[in-house]
C-alpha cells in the first residue's frame, strides 16, 4: 500500500551543486546476541540539500528520521552508500577527520533538558566549541555576548546555569551553541517538540530569522506536519527506514501522493471543531478503504 | 519570556561551578558528623606527620630495661614488650598506616579510574577485555594473595598495599564505568562531539565531573578498609620489623595480653577511630554529593520548571461560573486550590478552579506547561504528593456532597467510579508483571470476582479496545507490546469497573499521530457507549477540537475562559486564549521552495514567513 522509494527529488530551483547529498545511505546496527541479523534503520536513502535551504524530514517513531540526522552528524554507522558534504565524502571519515567538520555541521537536539551539561554555565557551554577551535578567552566571551543577543536572550544569561531557564530559553541556548562557529548546515532533531505551543512558533521564527541572515541550511527532523510546513522549503516523508515521498512543503502537506503521507495528514487533528469533524470522517473512510484493499489483496 | 524562579540551591548569580563547589564545602561544615570525622582525621594526620617534633623517643629502639615499663614521666603510655615507647610507636605507626593506606587508594584509582573511563567511554573490545580482567581480579581471594606476596616477595607494608590496591581496583573500575556509561548517553556529550571536542577533552570536561562524587566516596571507603587490612597483616606478624605500625603494636600487645592488657587498647582505639571517621565521612559525603540523587533531581527540576510559572499571581480573577444543573451533573468542583510548601511560604499551583462535568460530556482542560491543568486532574484523583495541600469549597460527585477532597473519600471512588488514563502508557505498567495480572488485580479488588471471571471479562474488554489477539496480549509483558497497544490496555483497565468519570491526562501526547487518531476514536466511542463523563487534560487544540464538548483554558492556576467548544474556537474571549489559538501553526502559509539564483546572496530573498508572523503576533 505504500508507494515505492522515490528517486531524490530535483525540484529545487537552483542549479548549483548541493551542500549536502545523501546517496543511497544504509545504516545497520549490529544486533545483540550471536549471529542474529543486524537491525537496518535506514534502507538506501537518497536526499540532497541546497545552500540556504531547509529540508524537512517527517515521519513517525521508528521511521529512521532521527537516525538519518545522526548519520549526517557522524553519530550513526553508515554501512552502505555515501554522504557528501560540499563535494567530499564525510560518511567514511574517522573521528579525527570528523572533528575538522565541526566548523561546518552543527546540531540542535530535541531535549533541551539533557542536551546542555547541567554543571556548566551558559558561558562555559557556549565558549567551549570556540576555545576548542583556538579562540582566546576574551574573544570567546565577546562572541558569546553576540550569540546571546542573536537568539534574544538577556546578556546576564551567560553567568547562569541551564536549569535556571525555561524549556524555550534552553533551546535558544542550544541554538546559540550550534551557531557558535558559523556552520553552513545545522541538523535540527525535533527542536520544538518539547516546547509549549507559544514558544514553538517563536523558536521556529528564530530559526527562520537566522537562516535569512546567515544562509545556513537546515536538515529539520520532526514528526509534526504543521511544523515542517512552516519551516521547510522541501519535505521528505519517511516510513520504516525509507523515503516514501518528497517534494515542496506545500505539495507534501496539502496534496500528497503517497498513501502513507495521506494517512499521516488525515491523522493530524485540526484546531477547529467543524473542519476536524470533516477530516475525521475522511480519515475513517480512507482507512476503511485501505483495509478493504488490503483484504481483497490478501484474498487474491 | 521571563526566567522562572529557581529552586534556591544556586543562590549566587556568579559562576555556577564555583557556587556549586562552595556549596558542597558549606554543606560539609553544616553536618556535625562530617565535621567531627574530618577533624579527627586531620588531627591524626597532623600528629603523625609531626611525630618527630612531638616525641624524642625512637619508636624502633628496644631496651630490655624498659620492658613493659608502666605509664609515667619517661613513657607517657608506658613501653611495650621489648621496651619501645608506646606514644612514639603510635605516632610513627600513624605515618606508616596512613601512608600505606594512601598507597592502596592511589594504586586502586591509578588502575581503576582510567580503566573505567576507557571501558565506559569507548565500549567495544577494550571494555570486554577490561570487564573480564576485573571479574578475574574479583574472583581472586585477596587475603591469600596478600599473605603469599608478603611471605614470598617482600615484607614491606608498601608492597603489600600496592598489591591490595590492585586487588580492589575492580571496584573503582566498576563504579567509574557505570557512571561513565550513564552520562555518555546524554545528548550534551553528543553535542560536544559535534562541536569538535577531542575525546580527551570531552572526558575531562563532561565526564570526569560526573565521576568525581562517587569516586571521593569510594576513596574514603577504600582508605578505611586498607588501614584495617594493613593492621591485620601486621597483627599476623607479616610486617617488616623495621616499620612501626598500629598493626605491629597489636601483635606485640597480644603477646603480652595477660601481663599488660592496656597495651592492646591504644592501637585498637586509634584504628577504630580512624576507620570509623572514614566510614562516617564517606556516608556524609554520599548524602551531600548525592550519588544517586542526580537523576531524580533533574526529574524534579523538570516538573518544577513546568509548575514554577504558576507561582506568579495572575491579575485577572477567574470568571468561570458554572451553574450546577440538576440531574445529569456528575461532578461539581468549586474553588479548588492546591499549594505546595516552598522556602518560607507556600506556592499556589491551582488557584480557585471551579468546574462541572455532566454525564456523557467531555470537558477539555487545556493550557501550557505550568498552567496547573495536570495538578487539577491529579487533585481530583487524589494522586498528589503528601506535601500538597488541597482544598475545595464544594465537591459534589454523582448526587453526593463529599465536602472535602480527603484521601479516604476519594480512595473509595478512585478506580471504580473515577478512572484514570495516564500520559506515558509504558511507565504506568509494571514491567515485572504480565499485563493480565495487572489488569485483573483492581477488578478483583473492586468487584470481588474470581480470577477466571476477571479474565473472561478482561478478554472481552481488550477486544473492545481494538486489540486483535486479546489472549496473547493478556499473557504478555509490557515490553512486548507497542506504546499504542499499551495505551489501549490501560484504557481497557480504566473502563473495566464501569466508571462514571474518566480522567485522561494527555493520553495521546506520547503517541505517534496515526496512533493518536485511533486512540481518540476509541475514547470517543467508549464515552458515547457508556455515557461517561470525561475530563481530558491536553495542550493540543487539535485534540480539543476532535474530542471535547466543552473547554476550560487554564493559565497560572486559574481558568481564564470556559466555553462550548465551537464558541471557544469561533469567538475566543480571553486575550490569553486568543494568543494560544494564534500560536497554532495550522493554517500557516507553507514556505515556498527555495529560489536561489547563483551569485545572489541569500539574505536578499524576501522572508516568506514574516507576514505570517505579523499575523500571529
State the average pLDDT over residues A186-200. Answer: 88
Q: First and final CA of chain A: distance in angstroms?
A: 15
Percent of chain A scoring above 70 in pLDDT: 93
Q: Count how many residues are written for chain B.
A: 617
pLDDT at B18: 44
User: What would the pLDDT profile of A141-171 be if each residue is shown by its tens digit?
Assistant: 999 999 999 898 888 889 998 888 888 889 9
Compute the C-alpha angle B166/B171/B177, nearest 5°: 115
Q: What is the pLDDT of residues B218-246, one digit of tens each?
A: 898 899 889 888 888 888 888 777 788 88
B197, B566, B596 ranked by CB distance to A132: nearest? B197
pLDDT at A282: 93
pLDDT at position B407 is 56
Give CA angle at A282 (A277, A283), nearest 5°: 95
Does residue A79 sit in helix, strand or coil?
A: strand
Q: Chain A, 174-203: which have a CB under 8 Å from a chain B CB?
A: 174, 177, 180-181, 196-201
* Among the listed residues B528, B546, B544, the one whose alpha carbon sits nearest the alpha carbon of residue B536: B544
User: Which one of A52, A109, A121 has the shortest CB-CB distance to B15?
Assistant: A121
Q: Would the pLDDT of A242 be above 90?
A: yes
Per-residue model confidence (pLDDT) at position B571: 92
Mutate to test the interface with B, among A9, A129, A197, A244 (most CBs of B within 10 A): A197
Residue B451 in grid coordinates:
480470577
Instruction: Say what the alpha-carbon torsion angle B514, B516, B520, B526 is, to the nearest 10 degrees.
Output: 100
Phi-psi region of A211 (alpha: psi -120 to 50; beta: other; left: phi over 0): alpha
Distance CA A69, CA B346 (A): 45
Judged by CB atoms closer than 8 Å, whether chains meet at B192 and A128 is answered as yes
Helix ranges (DSSP H) in B31-156: 32-49, 51-54, 86-122, 124-139, 142-152
Give yes or no for residue A290 having a pLDDT over 60: yes
pLDDT at B410: 65
Taking Cα atoms as reference points, which of B574, B564, B572 lies closest to residue B363?
B564
Question: Which domains are seen in chain B, by residue range?
Answer: 25-295 (1.10.3720.10), 327-424+500-583 (3.40.50.300)
pLDDT at B146: 87
Q: For B590, which of A100, A249, A284 is closest by C-beta distance? A: A249
| C-alpha–C-alpha distance, residues A170 and A176, integer Å | 10
Partner residue facing A102 (CB), from B195, B201, B305: B195
Q: Which residue has the higher pLDDT, B308 or A271?
A: A271
Calpha distance B289→B213 (Å, rounded)? 6
Q: State residue A286 phi and psi, 5-degree precision.
A: -60, -45
Could you tell me the pLDDT band of residue A244, with boundaries at 50, 70 and 90?
Answer: very high
pLDDT at A99 over 90: no
Mutate to test the interface with B, among A9, A90, A117, A168 (most CBs of B within 10 A): A117
Question: Which comes out higher in pLDDT, residue A283 or A34?
Answer: A283
Cβ atoms of B572 and A190 closer than 8 Å: no
Report the phi/psi class of residue A64: left, alpha or beta, with left for phi > 0 and alpha for psi in -120 to 50.
left
What pLDDT, on the 0 to 100 scale, is given for residue A118? Answer: 87
Task: Tell me if chain B has a CB within 8 Å of the CB of A77.
Answer: no
Model confidence at A214, in pLDDT bands (50, 70, 90)?
very high
Pairing of strands B418-421, B329-342: unpaired
Low-confidence ranges of chain B (pLDDT < 50): 1-19, 291-302, 304-325, 597-617
Which residues sit opposite B536 in a β-bridge? Answer: B364, B504
Query: What's the mean pLDDT when you consider all of chain A?
Result: 87
- Chain-chain contact of A271 with B597 (C-beta, under 8 angstroms): no
CB A95 within 8 A of CB B158: no
Q: Give the SS3 label for residue A41.
A: strand
CB proximity under 8 Å: A 20-49 to B: none
Q: Which residues of A touch B605 (CB under 8 A)?
A: 52, 212
Structural contact between residues B607 and A212, judged by C-beta atoms closer than 8 angstroms:
yes
Query: How many CB atoms sit inside 10 A of residue A62's CB?
Result: 15
The 8-class DSSP code of residue B79 comes to B
**Count of C-beta atoms within a 10 Å radius of residue A87:** 9
Shortest Cα–Cα distance, A164 to chain B (Å) = 6
The CA-CA-CA angle for residues B344, B346, B351, to 5°, reads 155
Q: Which residues of A touch B20 (CB under 8 A)?
A: 119
For residue A188, what pLDDT is reported? 94
Q: Which residues are B336's β-sheet partners?
A: B353
pLDDT value for A14 = 46
The C-alpha cell at B333 is: 468542583
Beta carbon pairs, A and B, within 8 Å = 260
Amino acid at each position: 500500500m505504500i508507494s515505492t522509494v522515490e528517486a531524490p527529488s530535483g525540484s529545487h530551483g537552483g542549479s548549483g551543486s548541493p551542500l549536502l547529498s545523501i546517496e543511497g545511505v544504509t545504516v545497520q546496527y549490529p544486533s545483540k546476541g550471536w549471529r542474529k541479523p543486524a537491525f537496518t534503520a535506514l534502507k538506501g536513502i537518497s536526499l540532497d540539500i541546497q545552500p540556504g535551504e531547509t529540508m524537512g524530514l517527517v515521519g513517525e517513531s521508528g521511521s529512521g528520521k532521527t537516525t538519518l540526522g545522526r548519520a549526517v552528524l557522524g553519530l550513526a554507522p553508515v554501512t552502505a552508500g555515501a554522504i557528501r558534504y560540499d563535494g567530499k565524502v564525510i560518511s567514511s571519515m574517522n573521528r579525527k577527520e570528523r572533528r575538522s567538520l565541526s566548523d561546518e555541521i552543527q546540531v540542535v537536539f530535541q531535549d533541551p533538558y539533557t542536551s546542555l551539561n547541567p554543571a556548566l554555565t551558559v558561558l562555559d557551554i557556549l565558549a567551549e566549541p570556540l576555545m576548542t577551535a583556538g579562540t582566546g578567552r576574551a574573544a570567546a566571551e565577546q562572541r558569546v555576548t553576540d550569540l546571546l543577543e542573536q537568539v534574544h536572550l538577556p546578556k546576564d544569561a551567560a553567568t547562569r546555569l541551564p536549569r535556571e531557564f525555561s524549556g524555550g530559553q534552553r533551546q535558544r541556548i542550544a541554538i546559540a551553541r550550534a551557531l557558535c562557529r558559523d556552520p553552513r548546515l545545522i541538523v535540527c532533531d525535533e527542536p520544538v517538540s518539547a516546547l509549549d505551543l507559544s514558544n514553538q512558533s517563536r523558536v521556529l521564527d528564530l530559526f527562520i530569522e537566522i537562516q535569512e541572515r546567515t544562509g545556513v541550511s537546515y536538515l529539520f527532523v520532526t514528526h509534526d506536519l504543521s511544523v515542517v510546513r512552516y519551516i521547510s522549503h522541501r519535505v521528505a516523508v519517511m516510513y520504516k527506514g525509507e523515503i516514501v515521498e518528497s517534494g515542496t512543503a506545500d505539495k507534501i502537506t496539502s496534496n500528497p501522493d503517497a498513501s502513507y503521507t495521506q494517512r499521516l495528514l488525515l491523522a493530524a487533528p485540526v484546531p477547529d471543531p467543524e473542519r476536524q469533524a470533516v477530516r475525521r470522517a475522511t480519515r475513517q473512510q480512507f482507512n476503511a478503504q485501505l483495509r478493504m484493499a488490503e483484504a481483497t489483496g490478501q484474498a487474491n | 519570556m521571563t526566567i522562572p524562579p529557581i529552586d534556591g540551591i544556586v543562590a549566587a548569580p556568579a559562576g555556577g561551578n564555583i557556587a556549586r563547589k562552595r556549596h558542597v564545602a558549606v554543606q560539609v561544615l553544616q553536618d556535625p558528623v562530617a565535621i567531627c570525622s574530618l577533624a579527627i582525621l586531620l588531627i591524626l594526620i597532623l600528629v603523625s606527620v609531626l611525630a618527630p617534633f612531638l616525641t624524642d623517643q625512637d619508636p624502633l629502639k628496644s631496651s630490655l630495661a624498659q620492658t613493659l615499663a608502666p605509664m609515667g614521666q619517661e613513657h607517657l603510655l608506658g613501653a611495650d614488650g621489648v621496651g619501645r615507647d608506646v606514644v612514639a610507636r603510635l605516632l610513627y605507626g600513624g605515618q606508616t598506616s596512613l601512608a600505606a593506606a594512601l598507597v592502596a587508594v592511589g594504586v586502586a584509582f591509578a588502575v581503576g579510574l582510567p580503566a573505567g573511563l576507557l571501558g565506559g567511554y569507548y565500549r567495544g573490545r577494550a571494555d570486554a577485555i577490561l570487564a573480564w580482567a576485573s571479574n578475574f581480579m574479583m574472583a581472586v581471594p585477596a587475603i591469600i594473595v596478600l599473605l603469599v606476596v608478603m611471605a614470598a616477595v617482600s615484607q614491606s607494608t608498601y608492597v603489600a598495599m600496592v598489591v591490595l590496591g590492585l586487588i580492589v581496583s575492580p571496584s573503582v573500575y566498576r563504579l567509574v564505568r557505570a557512571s561513565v556509561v550513564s552520562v555518555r548517553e546524554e545528548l550534551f556529550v553528543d553535542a560536544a562531539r559535534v562541536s569538535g571536542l577531542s575525546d580527551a577533552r570531552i572526558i575531562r570536561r563532561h565526564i570526569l565531573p560526573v565521576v568525581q562524587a562517587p569516586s571521593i566516596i569510594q576513596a574514603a571507603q577504600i582508605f578505611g578498609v586498607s588501614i584495617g587490612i594493613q593492621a591485620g597483616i601486621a597483627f599476623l606478624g607479616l610486617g617488616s620489623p623495621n616499620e612501626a605500625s598500629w598493626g605491629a603494636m597489636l601483635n606485640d600487645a597480644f603477646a603480652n595480653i595477660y601481663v599488660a592488657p592496656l597495651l592492646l587498647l591504644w592501637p585498637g582505639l586509634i584504628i577504630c577511630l580512624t576507620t570509623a571517621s572514614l566510614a562516617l565521612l564517606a556516608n556524609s559525603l554520599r548524602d551531600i554529593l548525592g550519588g544517586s540523587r542526580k537523576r531524580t533531581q533533574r526529574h524534579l527540576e523538570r516538573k518544577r520548571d513546568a509548575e514554577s510559572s504558576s507561582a506568579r499571581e495572575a491579575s485577572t480573577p477567574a470568571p468561570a461560573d458554572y451553574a450546577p444543573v440538576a440531574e445529569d451533573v456528575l461532578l461539581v468542583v468549586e474553588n479548588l486550590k492546591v499549594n505546595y510548601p516552598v522556602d518560607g511560604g507556600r506556592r499556589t499551583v491551582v488557584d480557585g478552579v471551579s468546574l462541572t462535568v455532566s454525564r456523557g460530556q467531555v470537558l477539555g482542560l487545556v493550557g501550557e506547561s505550568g498552567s496547573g491543568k495536570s495538578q487539577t486532574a491529579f487533585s481530583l484523583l487524589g494522586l498528589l504528593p503528601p506535601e500538597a495541600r488541597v482544598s475545595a469549597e464544594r465537591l459534589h460527585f454523582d448526587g453526593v456532597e463529599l465536602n472535602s477532597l480527603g484521601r479516604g473519600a476519594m480512595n473509595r471512588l478512585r478506580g471504580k467510579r473515577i478512572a484514570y488514563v495516564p500520559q506515558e502508557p509504558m511507565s504506568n505498567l509494571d514491567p515485572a508483571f504480565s499485563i493480565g495480572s495487572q489488569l485483573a488485580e483492581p477488578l478483583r479488588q473492586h468487584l470481588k470476582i474470581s480470577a477466571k471471571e476477571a479474565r473472561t471479562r478482561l478478554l472481552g474488554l481488550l477486544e473492545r479496545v481494538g486489540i486483535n489477539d486479546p489472549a496473547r496480549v493478556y499473557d504478555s509483558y509490557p515490553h512486548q507490546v507497542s506504546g499504542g497497544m499499551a495505551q489501549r490496555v490501560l484504557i481497557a483497565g480504566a473502563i473495566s469497573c464501569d466508571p462514571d468519570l474518566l480522567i485522561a491526562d494527555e493520553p495521546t501526547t506520547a503517541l505517534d499521530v496515526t496512533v493518536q487518531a485511533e486512540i481518540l476514536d476509541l475514547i470517543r466511542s467508549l464515552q458515547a457507549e457508556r455515557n461517561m463523563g470525561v475530563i481530558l487534560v491536553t495542550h493540543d487544540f487539535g485534540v480539543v477540537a476532535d474530542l471535547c464538548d466543552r473547554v476550560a483554558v487554564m493559565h497560572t492556576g486559574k481558568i481564564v475562559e470556559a466555553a462550548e467548544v465551537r464558541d471557544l474556537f469561533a469567538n475566543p474571549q480571553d486575550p490569553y486564549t486568543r494568543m494560544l489559538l494564534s500560536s497554532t501553526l495550522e493554517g500557516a502559509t507553507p514556505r515556498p521552495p527555495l529560489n536561489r539564483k547563483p551569485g545572489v546572496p541569500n539574505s536578499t530573498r524576501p522572508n516568506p514567513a514574516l507576514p505570517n508572523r505579523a499575523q500571529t503576533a
